[in-house]
Chain A
Amino acid sequence: MKQMRANTKLQNAYLAFLFFLMYLPVAIVILFSFNESKLYVSFSGFSLVWYEKLFRDSAMMEALKNSLILGILSCAVSAVIGTLGAVSLSALKLRSKGVLEYIAILPLMVPEIILGMVLMAFFYMLKLPFGMLTLLIGHTVFCVPYILVEVKASLALMDPSLTEAARDLGASSWRAFLDITLPLVMPAVASGSLLAFAMSMDDVVISIFINGPRISTLPIKVYTQIKTGVTPEINALCTIMLAVSLTALAVFSIFRSHKKEENRDEEQIDRASEPDQEL
Chain B
Amino acid sequence: MKQYRHLIRPYLIWSLVLVVIPLFLIVFYAFTEEGNEVLTFSFTWKNFARFLEATYLNVILKSFWLGFITTAICLLLGYPLAYFISRFSEKAQDTLILLVTIPMWINMLLRTYAWMNLLSDNGIINQLLGRLNLGPVSMMYTDFSVLVGLVCNFMPFMIIPIHTSLCKMDKSLLEAAMDLGANRVQTFWKVTWKLSMPGVVNGVMMVFLLAVSSFVIPKLLGGGQYMLIGNLIESQFISVGDWNFGSAISMILAVIILISMRLMQKMDKLQQEE
Q: Interface residues, chain A, CB within 8 Å of chain B?
A: 1-2, 4-7, 11-12, 14-15, 18-19, 21-26, 28-29, 40-42, 80-82, 84-85, 87-93, 100, 103-104, 106-107, 109-114, 117-122, 125, 137, 140-141, 144, 148, 160, 163-164, 167, 173, 176-177, 181, 198, 202, 204-205, 209, 218-219, 222-223, 226, 230, 234-235, 238, 241-242, 245-246, 249
Contacts and interface: CB of A to CB of B under 8 A. Distances in A.
Contact of B87 (A5, A21, A137): A5
B18 A114 contact: no
Given A29-B114, A87-B4, A163-B3, A242 B106 contact: yes
A231 to B, nearest CB: 11
Contacts of A85: 8, 10-11, 14-15
Contacts of A6: 87
A54 to B, nearest CB: 14
B195 interface: no
Interface string B223-247: 0000000100110010000010011
Given A87-B7, A88-B6, A114-B233, A235 B110 contact: yes
Contacts of B105: 198, 241-242, 245
B185 to A, nearest CB: 14
A55 to B, nearest CB: 19
B18 A140 contact: yes
A114 B10 contact: no
B48 interface: no
B182 to A, nearest CB: 15
A26 B111 contact: yes
A143 to B, nearest CB: 11
Given A14-B80, A111-B230, A113-B215, 20 more contacts: A2-B175, A18-B81, A25-B103, A25-B111, A25-B114, A40-B117, A41-B123, A82-B11, A84-B8, A88-B7, A90-B1, A106-B23, A107-B19, A118-B250, A160-B1, A177-B4, A204-B108, A222-B113, A223-B109, A238-B107
26 contacts: A7-B87, A15-B85, A28-B118, A81-B11, A84-B11, A85-B15, A91-B1, A92-B8, A100-B12, A103-B19, A111-B212, A111-B213, A113-B233, A117-B26, A117-B234, A118-B23, A118-B26, A119-B18, A119-B22, A125-B38, A181-B4, A202-B108, A204-B108, A223-B216, A234-B107, A246-B102
A177 B114 contact: no
A49 B80 CA distance: 42
Nearest to B88: A7
A31 B237 CA distance: 38
Sort A-B residue pairs by CB-CB distance and give the 9 closest, nearest first. A85-B11, A111-B213, A88-B8, A173-B3, A25-B114, A28-B114, A91-B4, A25-B111, A88-B7
B204 interface: no
B5 A29 contact: no
Contacts of A209: 237
Interface in B1-40: 1-8, 10-12, 14-15, 18-23, 25-26, 29, 38
Nearest to B175: A2
Given A87-B4, A109-B258, A118 B152 contact: no
Contact of B118 (A11, A24, A230): A24
* Consensus secondary structure, chain B interface: helix
B8 A113 contact: no
Instruction: With a 10 A CB-CB cut-off, give which of A28, A41, A140, A230 has the most chain B CB atoms.
Output: A28
Contacts of A118: 22-23, 25-26, 250
Nearest to A160: B1
A231 B157 CA distance: 30
A214 B4 CA distance: 42
A243 B237 CA distance: 38
Nearest to A177: B4
Contacts of B237: 117, 120-121, 209
Contact of A204 (B216, B250, B253): B216
B233 A106 contact: no
Given A42-B127, A114-B26, A88 B172 contact: no
B140 interface: no
A218 B107 CA distance: 9
Interface in B145-197: 152, 155-156, 171-172, 174-175
B110 A238 contact: yes
Interface string B82-115: 0011011000000010111011011111111111
Contacts of A198: 105
Nearest to A15: B84
B118 A25 contact: yes
Contacts of A222: 107, 109-110, 113
Contacts of A110: 23, 254, 257-258
Contacts of B100: 22
B77 interface: yes
A269 B171 CA distance: 33
A112 B250 CA distance: 11
Given A91-B1, A219-B107, A242-B106, A114 B215 contact: no
